[in-house]
Chain A
Amino acid sequence: MNMFVLGYYAFLIGLSCLAAYYNKRSAFLLLFSLTLASFVLGIVGGESALHAIAASAAILALAAGTSYAFREFLVMITPHETARELRTAPLTASFGMFVIFTYAIAGVFAPIIAPFGEGEVIAGAFAPADDTMLLGADQLGRDMFSRIIYGARNSVGLALIATMLAFIMGAAAGMLAATRGGWLDQFLGRFADVIMSVPSLIFSLLMLSIFGTNLAVIVIVVAVIYAPRVFRLTRAVAGNVVVMDYIEAAKLRGEGTWYLIRKEILPNSTAPLIAEFGLEFCFVFLLIAGLSFLGLGIQPPTADWGSMVRENATLISFGELTPLIPAAAIALLTVSVNFVVDWMLYRSSGLKG
């Protein structure tokens, strides 16, 4: 029994009592069951288990606090309408926004933030972390931290461009199909089916082997793979809008297809499309990371999270966690985007209670 263990239990029990006294049912249940679980864990795992629980609780609390502060910050600096929407955001969503914001800063200001260049060899292979190298060196002796910062720019930037291209192609085709209907709708629909029927990884590997692995090819191939999904969603959403009387009124006025799409349909389908954009971005990002891991994506020496995992993979066998850091960066971004998208989907689906 040392001071830490005593303090740990005293703290939990004290909080439980407070929660019970102020009639906070759910808080009390959570705290007290944590106390009971800690008894068992303390007996089985000893002091280190309690340390782990305390640390993870602290991390959670820190993340929650950051998210809360970030949300309040956003509410204050945005105009009234947006602020009212933001106030409804759950903590998970504001956590997601905070992470995305951080990544954006890292990507935009990469050359200023990173202490070394992405291709600069400054130490021996797999040199351990020291004062100048926050995360140590990779297999060629380049600074890991700098490469991760640059990776934010390269991987995320590429995924963003590919997603946008997929959206422009898919959304335009989807709206056109919904507005025009008839054979154009059938043709575009079947064409989308054909693309979707080929497994995406095999399709991209094939295309990249044929056309070579430069950035433009990667962007176009990925965009073509994901455009049919966007097409389907847009067509469905726009299909619900075109049957409205105001579209009929506009058609009877003699308006052209382009006006219908731009002024009448698009404003009514933005919410689901933005949510879909977030989701698709995750998939595109993971696909590009996967391609890089296979060596077909972004080519060295450009820093990219996918290829960084592969290059440093040997280190795993020595019990080092370094190769997992870029993987964690990918995971964190994907989860964050999903948090934000969840909230947006919730709002646009009208599930507000």
Chain B
Amino acid sequence: MGMLKDKDVLLKIRDLHIEGYSDEEWIEIVHGVDLTLHRGEVLGLIGESGAGKSTIGLAAMGFARDGCRISGGSVEFDGMELTTTPKSDLRALRGSRIAYVAQSAAASFNPAHKIIEQHIEAPLHYRIQKRVEAQEDAMALYERLRLPNPREIGFRYPHQVSGGQLQRAMTAMAMACRPDLIIFDEPTTALDVTTQIEVLAAIRDIVDQFNTAAIYITHDLAVVAQMADTIKVLLKGNEVEEAPTEQMLESPEDDYTKSLWAVRSFKREQKSRPTDGSPPVVSVQDVDAAYGETKVLEDVSFDIYPGMTVAVVGESGSGKSTTARCITGLLPPLKGKILFNGEEMPPRYQDRSWEQLRQVQMIYQMADTALNPKVRISDIIGRPAEFYGGLKGTELKSRVDELLDLIELDPKKFYNRYPPELSGGQKQRIGIARALAAEPQFIICDEVTSALDQLVAEGILRLLDKLQDELNLAYMFITHDLATVRSIADEVVVMQQGRVVEQGPKDAMFRPPHHPYTDLLLSSVPEMDPNWLTTLLEERGVDNIGEAAEV
């Protein structure tokens, strides 16, 4: 990268300050960040949520979202100072010379218009191409991005194509005017690993081919390692360090960067099933389930023994969460039964006794929607204890204090607070405390770490592990993240399209030979090696990646 000359500089951000408006005052959220991007260079911006990644990405287009303003510094794009450019000129720049790819393509496409209509809007508006030309070009781009039926797919509506395809269509749309700079804001975060590969390959391919510069924003280090030439690490609106990708991966300098790199280090001893003949806590036996007419589970069976963690993995739509709904009784199975400590439980939760309800607790993926925002923390945690244990007054208060201690939050500080005042990790801890308050034997953890930053997620995993040791809990751990599985699971159940395709102890599952689907899942998890994607694509062949891969 050293040979890039100054005249190739496309984007130069100097001492950028951005303020956000909250609680009636302006608070600085980005404190003087510098950034230089050359033509054809891909810069990876990484950091936790709240680090200012997206805000800086938007500022590169001279844009500040509602409630934010650029309060200082300069943004120079190809010799043009964006902070002082009038709005009309900025509008002409965006879409034609700078494009933006958002995290959720499903939310960014207008559901009422066909994909190709939205694609050709910009070229037509800027009079770059005529209608037919623009459509031809769109189809060529769809082909380049390996979308199926490139000549036809554009004439569908956004809801008629899959998430990964839509994300690729969005990348194609960003390329419509052949911009000099594309900003990718977490484009694969919402996708499954197998779909993610397709999108990553497509993005890298198209950026290479048209020599487009890109800013790639993500919190996933392994992904950024595949995409970026240079990596910049951000923390709370400050730059931590910047270096070429390989150098950054091999020898990070700052302590914060090192801690990010070391996140996946948490690992614990794998436990095996108890040998004293005790029955499994939960035993799912030949369960079939359906939503209306659509069958979503077929013949699902597995056992979870006391004190063990069973990870259930699979893509979205594979029936992981539906299995959890069957166990909790929210969705009564069509066939089969759920045994708890050897006893059959009624299929509907309404028919279960309080004792049975108490024993099975759940921790949710989105702590935001799992905690009532208008209820005090003390009431959220205290309610199950009050409800099942009949605790009152000082007894209840000391139980809540005890639970807050257990989840490593200071009771004095958190007792009277409301959920919106807490950070994502703290909310998730409250969710855990609520589950523990019922003193269950078995907890279902539904993607509990996937909405959290890696450092925070690791803290949650450690906490869950500690609690398991202290309270001999059994966990059913639903996840699509195989790194999490590696660190905490004892047994693994792999699901695909509503069926269990493989199950067994973790060490056996991560050792070949695998079921082809397990193999596909395992090999799709990005690794920190910058050449991983290239190697993988060579192995699988270009037309046989991700969803399209033969299983």
Contacts and interface: CB of A to CB of B under 8 A. Distances in A.
Nearest to B356: A254
A51 interface: no
B373 A245 contact: no
B438 interface: yes
B79 interface: no
24 contacts: A84-B24, A87-B24, A245-B366, A245-B369, A245-B370, A246-B369, A246-B371, A248-B362, A249-B434, A252-B329, A253-B384, A253-B387, A254-B354, A254-B357, A254-B387, A263-B375, A264-B372, A264-B375, A267-B372, A267-B374, A268-B372, A268-B373, A353-B66, A353-B67
A255 interface: yes
A37 interface: no
A25 interface: no
Given A245-B364, A251-B349, A252-B362, A268 B357 contact: no
Contacts of A267: 372, 374-375
Interface in B334-364: 349, 352, 354, 357, 360, 362, 364
Contacts of B328: 252
A244 B419 CA distance: 14
Nearest to B329: A252
Interface of B: 24, 66-67, 328-330, 349, 352, 354, 357, 360, 362, 364, 366, 369-375, 383-384, 387-388, 434, 438
Contacts, number: 51
B349 A252 contact: yes
Given A244-B370, A253-B438, 8 more contacts: A88-B24, A248-B330, A249-B434, A252-B328, A252-B330, A252-B349, A252-B357, A254-B357
Contacts of B374: 267-268
B321 to A, nearest CB: 12
> Closest 8 CB pairs between A and B?
A267-B374, A245-B370, A246-B372, A245-B364, A245-B369, A254-B357, A244-B369, A254-B354
Contacts of B383: 253
B503 to A, nearest CB: 26
Nearest to A251: B349
Contacts of B24: 84, 87-88
B66 A255 contact: no
Nearest to A263: B375
A268 B372 CA distance: 8
Contacts of A251: 349
Interface in A20-71: none
A246 B371 CA distance: 5
A245 B434 CA distance: 13
B6 to A, nearest CB: 40
A343 to B, nearest CB: 16
Contacts of A244: 369-370, 372
Contact of B364 (A87, A249, A254): A249
A249 B362 contact: yes
B370 A246 contact: yes
B36 to A, nearest CB: 33
Contacts of B66: 353
A52 to B, nearest CB: 40
B272 to A, nearest CB: 31
Given A84-B24, A255-B387, A249 B370 contact: yes
Interface string A249-282: 1011111000000011001100000000000000
Contacts of A268: 372-374
Contacts of B438: 253
A45 B438 CA distance: 80
Nearest to B365: A245
Nearest to A87: B24
Contacts of A246: 369-372
Nearest to A88: B24
Contacts of B357: 252-254
- Max chain B CB contacts within 10 Å: which of A87, A254, A263? A254
Contacts of B387: 253-255
Interface string A80-107: 0000100110000000000000000000
A267 B357 CA distance: 25
